[in-house]
Structure 1
Amino acid sequence: MFAIGIDLGGTWIKGVLMTIDTGEMVKQLYHPTHGDKDWKQAVAETVAELQQHADLVKPTDDQGSTIKAIGLSAPGLPNETNRCIAYMPGRLPGLEGFHWGDFLNAPVYVVNDAHAALMAETRFGVAKGSRHVLLLTLGTGVGGGLLVDGRLYQGNSQRAGHLGHITVDTEGDRDIMGLPGSLEDAIGNATIEKRSLGRYTSTYQLLEAYKQGNPFAQWVWLSSVRKLAVGICSLINCFSPDVVVLSGGITQADADLLLPLTSFMDAYEWRPGGLTTPIKIAHFGDMAGAIGAASFAIQEVV
């Protein structure tokens, strides 16, 4: 049996056909979101293509439907039944309130994109087998998700998991949600030019200068990583996860991120009885949203 996962982003529509039991990726597809076709139709064609491939590779004695679940990952807040995106202003006009199950003529489970990344890692990735997981996506902004007692926690109005919007500096500027000095503004790529006083326009540029020993770059980067550690420790105190997973483009810094982060965690983490919370880099890359969407749908139907 198979599941289909679709990740609907502003640039790409990514699709994956995967086995329900092992999470093996049988086929992957990429289509531009704004190509020759309407993006809704492009999603429909991606699902149809994955369905056709599933029919080709299924056992010859299997006469039933090969697709057990369909999940779709998208930016925004899903509705209470996870059948559409209820709130996503300013991006992908027409996404809000669009019922994917009616459009595709099949049950479709819709999940926030950061929540999808969490589901991918907890079902088939570095947090497999853990019942309490905290994930942070470190990229243009900072998103996140929570797995509580083995289930995705979405909270009231499906807003839970906006972990980038906790305060790590009460004297900082207000972020897009109105909070002062948020974790997102402390390390997200969107604020790098502001944080570096205009010297760098990307985290990549900052890290290149950091590696070369530039004192200013080192100050900017280590200040950001310190605030990340403070944020993680605060979240650990709130939720006591089995593991913290970091995903997103900034994690490509590898040791330049993990070594200073570990030092700051040693300084700030509360460790009763010597217990430390492991921090792991996500296993899945740019297909995490599609894999997580399929994983969420599997959880809902199995």
Structure 2
Amino acid sequence: MKAAVIGIDLGCTNIKGVLLDDQGNILADVQKETNEKDEAQWKTSVAEMVHGLRKKADGKEIPVGLSAPGLAGKENNRIVLMPDRLPGLEEFIWTDFLGLQTFVINDAHAALMAEARFGAAKGFQNVVLLTLGTGVGGGLLIHGQLQQGLLQRAGHFGHVSLDADSHEADVTNMPASLENAIGDLTVNARSYGKYSSTYELVQAYKNGDPLATYVWLHSIKRLAIGLCSFINIISPELIVIGGGISRAGKDLFEPLKEFMEIFEWKTAGVRTPVVPATFSEFSGAIGAGGFALQKTSS
């Protein structure tokens, strides 16, 4: 297998890197902790990671894809907006720093690219992906192309409102957003202070706790309403669910299917498949690499 691209996922907790062939097979991987507030540390860590992976590709000059939180510039060469996190990331030109052609992409968009090029959405042309974690991110594939939009913010499905009259707004000032309905950042408030993580909530749900059952199923019901709304707007062939919360497995997907049976407009009796993502831990790095491959082959 011939090395084709390096993929880097720059997160606020960890930096992950992969060396991929053109079929998405991982030839090498590496991971380091991120010191988020130490700009010199995480930039140096990325550079060391890239050049270490390049050595494993016999020193060849191969492209780099880099995923990161925030909004990418329209040229996909930098992050232009990421307030309050990873100081020094905004407007930083990675190609100049690394000395290799580098394509920068939003982390949720990268997750979609991983699935579209190598995973659960391979072969599909019109796909919605949601990442369920601390918040809710997403990506949109139309006619086989990642949709980034005018300001590179397309696919932020977590910031749609489920109740316009709610007094609780998310980080974008959207009332009763999908992100607040199921994201890990609100689980303590949704459970009236009883649970500090979705993992704890799901474990209690599995054990039959009445409060956990109510909170978890109410959150999934709202997720189903959001997904059915996206189906009505986009009419995708497939919906992919990734992120840490998707690891709940059947405890997420089985009740989600039941709620979608109620709310989905099944034109001509056709249901939209909802499937778990193929990739988890290295999805951002794999997707960033896939994005760089697409950019250099188009």
Instruction: Answer yes or no: same fold by TM over 0.5.
Output: yes
Contact 1:3/1:294 (<8 A) preserved: yes
- Asked if residue 168 in structure 1 is aligned to residue 170 in structure 2, the reply is no
Task: Give the SS at the match of 2:151.
Answer: helix
The separation in 2 between residues aligned to 1:18 and 1:205, in whole angstroms, is: 35
- Give the length in aligned residue pairs: 292
Aligned to 1:19: 21
Task: State the Cα deviation string for residues 166-194 of structure 1 (Å, max 9, x = none).
Answer: 11122331111111110000000100111
Aligned to 2:78: 84
The amino acid that maps onto 1:31 is: K
Task: Give the SS at the match of 2:57.
Answer: helix
Aligned to 2:114: 120
Aligned to 2:50: 47
Instruction: Give ranges in structure 1 of 5+ residues lacking alignment.
Output: 57-64
- Asked if residue 30 in structure 1 is aligned to residue 31 in structure 2, the reply is yes
**1:66, CA displacement in angstroms?**
5.7
**1:211, CA displacement in angstroms?**
1.2
Task: State the Cα deviation string for residues 94-142 of structure 1 (Å, max 9, x = none).
Answer: 0000000011112110000000000000000011010111000001100
The separation in 2 between residues aligned to 1:211 and 1:106, in whole angstroms, is: 49
- Asked if residue 271 in structure 1 is aligned to residue 266 in structure 2, the reply is yes
The separation in 1 between residues aligned to 2:290 and 2:216, in whole angstroms, is: 35
**1:2, CA displacement in angstroms?**
1.1
Within 5 A, what are the aligned runs for 1:211-222? 211-222=206-217
Within 5 A, what are the aligned runs for 1:90-109? 90-109=84-103
The separation in 2 between residues aligned to 1:23 and 1:256, in whole angstroms, is: 30
Within 5 A, what are the aligned runs for 1:62-73? 65=60, 67=62, 69-73=63-67
Task: Give the SS at the match of 1:167.
Answer: coil
Task: Give the SS at the match of 1:284.
Answer: coil
Aligned to 2:7: 5
TM-score (norm 1): 0.94
The separation in 1 between residues aligned to 2:196 and 2:101, in whole angstroms, is: 43
Within 5 A, what are the aligned runs for 1:144-163? 144-163=138-157
The amino acid that maps onto 2:53 is: L
Instruction: Extract structure 1 runs of 4+ deviating beyond 6 A.
Output: none
Contact 2:61/2:100 (<8 A) preserved: no
1:177 to 165, 172, 175: 172
Aligned to 1:282: 277
**1:263, CA displacement in angstroms?**
0.5
The separation in 2 between residues aligned to 1:4 and 1:209, in whole angstroms, is: 41
Contact 1:84/1:110 (<8 A) preserved: yes
The separation in 1 between residues aligned to 2:122 and 2:211, in whole angstroms, is: 39
Contact 1:55/1:66 (<8 A) preserved: no
| Identity of matched residues, % | 52
Instruction: Give ranges in structure 2 of 5+ residues lacking alignment.
Output: none
The separation in 2 between residues aligned to 1:275 and 1:66, in whole angstroms, is: 47
- Asked if residue 301 in structure 1 is aligned to residue 269 in structure 2, the reply is no
Aligned to 1:62: none
Within 5 A, what are the aligned runs for 1:190-201? 190-201=185-196
Range moving further from structure 2, 256-265 or 171-180: 171-180
Aligned-residue CA RMSD (Å) = 1.3
The separation in 2 between residues aligned to 1:42 and 1:200, in whole angstroms, is: 35
Contact 1:2/1:66 (<8 A) preserved: no
The amino acid that maps onto 1:14 is: K
Range moving further from structure 2, 101-110 or 207-216: 207-216
